[in-house]
Structure 1
Amino acid sequence: RLPALIRLGLLQAAAYLVASVPFVLGIGLVYGLLLREFDLYYYINVQPLSWWIAVIVAGTISAGYLLLAAWLYIRWLFAIPILVFEGATPLGALRKSWQQTRKRFWGFAVPLAVWWVVVILASVVTTWLVRAAAAQLLAHIGFTLKAVIPAVVVTLALVALLDVLWFIIGKIVHVMLMADFYLETTDMEKELSTPVPAARILSPLAFKRIGWIIAGVVLTMGIVAGGAFLQGFNINRTIDITGHRGSKVRAPENTLSALKQAISEGADYAEIDVQTTADGVVVLLHDADLMRVASVNRRLRDINYHELKDIDVGSWFAPEFSSERIPTLQEAIDLARGRIRLNIELKFTWPDPSLTQKVGNIIRQNGFSSDCVVSSLNFPALTEIKQAFPELTTGFIVFKVAGNLSRMEADFMSISAARVTSRLVRQLHRQGRAVHVWT
């Protein structure tokens, strides 16, 4: 029945996908009506009234889809046992399950939902207990690397093992509940077209032995993996630290004050975002407009540089930064020279064909190539600036690892910590590529 089970799964997946279309379109409409006026980063950080309206409406739409998906799941709850034990076709199994669950949604949904809430709560509690015990242990033995690393590895392994255990228990009881519901709605006197064979293949003792063998293999693999990790862990390695947009936690981002703060904190690099104004001056700014940092509803590409000198981009952060203005790339280089290196990100909030050439010229004219790197999400722009200014070190910013990154011709890859793996790092290092990890 495996091919039939696969067809059944594909039918259900297609139904869920089709059912999601109007909800996805609804969320897209909410975004188009409420979140298109300004840069999206402004809405996420400032959270004006339109943001909360959009969140509430989109959340309601999403909740509606989840309820529909739950309703479909319950209505098709018996599709698998009907297909396996009664020999029905995939479509026939869905139809019969639909009939058998009519007017029984809450009777089936509530016990299943309550059970999974219990499982989740139990998992959260056991995770908290393990972490609390680990914290108490570290408090007694001391926070040294030789103590912290094994404790963290053991704690994470134990948490993962407990989570897997709770998931297995959850699925077992879930299946038992589903079987009980199925038997309640099935004529027990009817002979099943596919008789259930007696347990002759494996005895309970054999199942127990197999379970212990699997547990032993998993435990051995965990010990080996932990040993390999600890053996390869180098506590003497040096790591370059980059301040995001300067030091945006203690000063307004992408300003001279943020750069000064990053220098005082001992950062090796300061990452800055650069764009051009309406009259072609390269300045530091992350968003497409000034709403978030200055409450000015204008896009940077529509503002001449001389106008920026009168716009306060620091008061939103704290009153003492009210004199802060948007700096030029030249001003940032003058401040950083000999004090901190720069990671200059090319920010294309609009298709600006002049940005790469202007940034490259400024860096070359200042003899700053060895004191900076240039990065971007726009790979064609990186290729362009590397060809025009081969002395520059360029890096491609990766949000999601897909395909073969080794084919991307950049000096380094800037990869999210959630996406980077040791295998990927080794692969890129073998090719002479550096790896920058951001959080």
Structure 2
Amino acid sequence: MAGSECVAQLTSRANRRWMTRILILVLSLALVLGVGMLSAVRTRRKEQDEVGGWQVKPLSIAHRGDDSAPENSTHAIANAGANGADYAEVDVRLDADGVPVVFHDRMTGRLAAGGRNVPVDSLSTHELQHMHMRQNGENFHVPTLDEAIMAAQHANDHLGLLLDLKTGSAGAGRLTHAVSDVIERRDFAGRVMVMAVNDDAITAMRALHPDWQIGKCVSPAGHPEVGWPRDASFVVMRGDRMDEAIVSRANRDNVPIYAGVSANYREGSRCLKMGADGVLGSSARSVHELADRFALAVHDGEGGSEAGRPVWR
């Protein structure tokens, strides 16, 4: 979660205004802080403050949407936007019809209200839409990626989606093409980041859209190696695996790195102090407040950098 990839092709009037604001910030920072600072803030949130200056913040990402609603539901996505997240991270896989749907597990059993435990890719879109899911006392249905994008678009004019592609190498091509088709049809490329654990999925999506934000999810549970492709737009990894050496390597590679911390916001604070570019957490409000605490004010003649990254305060 590089430079040209961050300025996606934006077509809506609102997104054009946002792009203009980012370009103004880039020009201002080039004069004030130098090129080294620029490379570090490209995929951090940039916004004007009340006195006409700029604030650069770590990204706040709600993991599987906001935890006030069932995971990966349209309700969770809407609440992520309402509670201040920059992105809602959601999991995407294909159903039996080849339609991208938003669901984390390969099997339905953990969330199926009736306990039916079958592979997601064995069910048609119609069957999934009519299977009752339940979590945290709330019923919901498995949304399609199309519905997830609409939920983000209706939440506000800037909430993005971080899509975690759930696939092995054999299905990487089908999933990336299907996901790409939905994003393009919904004109959502300017508000999406895509990541995967599987390198073939990353390569396939990169071949389709070299200008998109396409990153690597590294060091999942049970896998001790920490590495990423040379052309990764960003890296997402568990916060409890992140250390100064990894952050320094990401800095040298000019790759933004985001820490997944679940509900451990003390861990999130530790990662941001080391120089992480954002945090994925369960509560959109909590990650938003954490990002605010590490905001960097940039006014004429002000700002600081260390090893090419902002000094979070």
d(CA) in 2 for partners of 1:278, 1:389: 25
Q: Which of the two has higher C-alpha Rg?
A: 1
- 2-side partners of 1:308 and 1:358: how far apart? 17
Kindly tell me: are residues 406 and 379 of structure 1, through their superposed partners in 2, closer, same or farther at Cα, counting changes over 3 Å? closer
| Mapping 1:296-315, distance limit 5 Å | 296-314=116-134
* Identity rate, percent: 29
1:412 paired with 2:234, answer yes
Provide the rounded CA distance (Å) in 1 between the counterparts of 2:83 and 2:228. Answer: 34
Aligned residues: 198
Partner of 1:326: 142
Confirm or deny that 1:241 pairs with 2:63. no
Instruction: Identify the structure with the greater strand proportion.
Output: 2
Partner residue of 2:75 out of 241, 254, 257: 257
CA distance in 1, matches of 2:224, 2:258: 14
In 2 relative to 1, CA 350–402 (structure 1 residues): closer, same or farther, beyond 3 Å? Answer: closer
Task: Give the superposition deviation at 1:237.
Answer: 5.8
CA distance in 2, matches of 1:402, 1:265: 34
Work out which of the residue numbers 225, 235, 253 in structure 2 matches 1:431: 253
Matches for 1:202-241 after TM superposition, within 5 Å? 238-241=57-60
TM-score where L is the length of structure 2: 0.59
1:255-278 Cα offsets, whole Å, 9 max, x none, are 111111211211111000001110
Secondary structure, counterpart of 2:177 in structure 1: helix
Equivalent position amino acid for 2:241 in 1 = R
Structure with higher helix content: 1
Matched, 1:345 2:164: yes
1:310 offset after TM fit, Å?
1.4
Provide Cα deviations, 1:278-311, integer angstroms capped at 9, x if missing partner. Answer: 0111110001111011121211111011112211
Segments of 4+ moved more than 4 angstroms: none
- Tell whether 2:69 aligns with 1:281: no
> Contact 1:356–1:384 (CA<8 Å) still a contact in 2?
yes
Q: Is the 8 A contact 2:169 2:201 kept in 1?
A: no
Tell me which of 138, 152, 159 is aligned to 1:336: 152
Structure number with greater CO (CA < 8 Å, separation at least 6) is 2
Determine if contact 1:346/1:375 at 8 Å carries over to the other structure.
yes
Instruction: Judge which range, 373-382 or 341-350, deviates more.
Output: 341-350
Normalised by the length of structure 1, the TM-score is: 0.43
Decide whether the 8 Å contact of 2:218 with 2:228 is kept in 1: no
Listed as ranges, the gaps of 5+ residues in structure 1 are 1-235
Equivalent positions of 1:37-436 (< 5 A) are 238-247=57-66, 249-294=67-112, 295-314=115-134, 316-318=135-137, 321-322=138-139, 324-337=140-153, 338-348=157-167, 351-352=170-171, 353-399=173-219, 402=225, 405=227, 407-436=229-258
Pair 1:301–1:406, CA change in 2 (3 A)? closer
Match of 1:205 in 2: none
* Counterpart AA for 1:354: R
CA distance in 2, matches of 1:357, 1:414: 22
Instruction: State the AA in 1 paired with 2:87.
Output: Y
Q: 1:369·1:391 contact (CA, 8 Å) conserved in 2?
A: no
Partner of 1:63: none
Deviation, 1:387, is 1.1
Gaps of 5+ in 2: 1-54, 262-313
CA distance in 2, matches of 1:407, 1:301: 28
